[in-house]
Amino acid sequence: MALAQISEQTFEQEVLHSELPVMVEFGAEWCGPCKTVAPELAALAQELEGKAKIVTVDIDKSPMLARALGIQSVPTFVVFHNGQPAGGKAGAMKRAELRKLIEPFLPRTAGALKPEEVAELLKRGQISLVDTREAPVF
């Protein structure tokens, strides 16, 4: 699956106005690590289809955008949420690391809690665990 390549002209519409979180890979055609991470990004894009967008920006074709966002090395990954940069990291990464960058911004099923959120609520006494397994008939 080829990732959408966006430019300075399409950045606002594709990233800043997106209803989904967007991971942007800032790279370049001459960048070896960018080529190495491309299959990882494509697999992640397929995994997160409908939950997030993953796009690329060639810094040589969009230098003003790279400069405006302070991109100093490639590849650099920036996650945008609600039109704002919300996190990022430079350097080639495996799919699991890339997923960790965008995961906090993915839509969750209504009412779904992460284990650490449950632990915190238990600690504060705001919830109680109830065993709902069937008890033996007496």
- Provide the 8-state DSSP code for 46: H
Which one of the listed residues 34, 54, 57, 102 is annotated catalytic?
A: 34
Spatial distance between the Cα atoms of 20 and 30, rounded to a whole number of angstroms: 30
In angstroms, the Cα distances linking 74 to 11, 20, 70, 101, 112 are: 18, 24, 12, 16, 35
31 among known catalytic residues: yes
Alpha helices in 12-103 (DSSP H): 32-47, 63-68, 95-102
Q: Which of 22, 31, 44, 52 is catalytic?
A: 31
What's the token pair of residue 116? Answer: 């650490």
Report the alpha-carbon distance of residue 102 to residue 80 in Å, rounded.
Answer: 9
8 A C-beta contact, residue 61 and residue 30: no
Residues annotated as catalytic are: 31, 34
